[in-house]
Chain A
């Protein structure tokens, strides 16, 4: 038992984030099966895969919004979902999360959205908050004119940038990005990719980027992990079908990975049954 605890501690020391034999099931639908994944500090990992393969679920496991059905999801050696309110909040403040649709609060202005996390901490003066919000908005390329606007008045790209400013407001150690470029035009997608790179400059930051966008993967990732939908896997097959660098990803010969990175729908389509003559 003591040896196991020691081993666990050693494994956690290597990885800031770790999933150990994690399975997740919603009712009768299994989403993740026996996932083992370790992420070291200051690494940028892109998680790719088809829709429904459990990428977003993985992000939510890491931050403790979901609990694994079996296995352990560890952050800094702790299972967040087992912590009490105070400890959980303390650990969650080490994260920033950019949601797929930005998840801005409709009833609040841009300023109030970005300041919400700071206000909830109740340790910043109004002046400090104003200054920090202004600074974070500038970092994502927005000036103070947008502060009074409501999310409904913003374009998709601006919403994502405000979401990023909000996520960065509390100086997180870990950034989680859920499909940061989905629904944006190519230029705005590149702006967001540049911002992801920019957030790492000047601060130690571990990033997990869930994406379908290969341009994002090539531009920002140190490491790429590809998940495969359980529905298309055999009982004994691993759900993580690729784990390596971007260069290795581009050279892989695995047809499932190639199909995804080349966006080839024909190969993914089931072969139609042969017609028989009447």
Chain B
């Protein structure tokens, strides 16, 4: 035990140092990306291509995700609410959960897998095949040429995709509750309208902007710093998803706290909001 302790501490120290260096490197990379975003408009054709990939090609998968979120919520909550005679209140539960929490978080998670991993793998391949070096040699800044369009596409389009996921989640929940469980539609929607406000929708959208930024910056950073070979590319894709997922959950927690505090400051009499 005595002999192992220094090794363990050394290893722990090395790990912590490595993590700090990585975080610092990512912070510098993110700062560069934000700086280039405001400094110069994206290069010819790059934003359209990134927007098509992030936005248009994600529509189906986000709609399916959103629809199932709403339906699963309805399935899980119906029996308890029905036993208490509160089935018509399902609308408030499902719709608040969808627009504030599950819609943005699960849509972002899905996009971290579909968009983030793909971006990381693409940029990692470009790194391995010297395409990123070639960009530098042609007088283009790789962060400006490759990261800025992806960053803008994620920040602008992930909130729009989140709205789509929200709409599908609300529709999915309503379909199951009203059409399958035969809960009265008028009361279902009336309770929804009572509990879901503009603030709830905005909370979800604010979160999705941050999720989009995190997915783009983490994935691009992992791609840019890929190790050589097919293994390096695969590792970059995996690391990008894992890091993005953790970032989404952490951001979700801190933003929920922040938005609740902000709500209490603006409307003190209204009392606390659910996270």
Contacts and interface: CB of A to CB of B under 8 A. Distances in A.
Interface of A: 60, 63, 65, 85, 89, 92-93, 95-97, 99-101, 103-107, 112, 116-117, 119-121, 166-167, 170
Contacts of A100: 130
B129 A116 contact: no
A26 to B, nearest CB: 11
B131 A103 contact: yes
Given A107-B49, A120-B43, A99 B139 contact: no
A119 B43 contact: yes
A62 B138 CA distance: 15
A96 B129 CA distance: 17
Majority SS at the chain A contact face: mixed
Contact of B134 (A89, A99, A107): A99
B136 to A, nearest CB: 6
Contacts of A97: 133-134, 137
A192 B209 CA distance: 50
Nearest to A101: B129
B133 A99 contact: yes
Contacts of B4: none
30 contacts: A65-B133, A65-B136, A85-B141, A89-B139, A92-B136, A92-B137, A92-B139, A97-B133, A97-B134, A97-B137, A99-B130, A99-B134, A101-B130, A103-B131, A103-B133, A103-B134, A105-B126, A105-B131, A105-B134, A106-B131, A116-B140, A117-B138, A117-B139, A117-B140, A119-B44, A120-B43, A120-B138, A120-B139, A120-B145, A170-B139
Contacts of B137: 63, 65, 92, 95-97, 167
A260 to B, nearest CB: 25
Contact of B141 (A89, A95, A107): A89
Interface string B35-60: 00000000111000100000000000
A29 to B, nearest CB: 13
A268 B136 CA distance: 38
A87 B84 CA distance: 72
Contacts of B45: 112
Which residue among A103, A104, A121 has the maximum number of chain B CB atoms within 10 Å of its CB?
A103
Given A89-B139, A100-B130, A167-B137, 11 more contacts: A65-B137, A92-B139, A96-B137, A97-B137, A101-B130, A103-B129, A103-B133, A119-B43, A120-B140, A121-B139, A170-B139
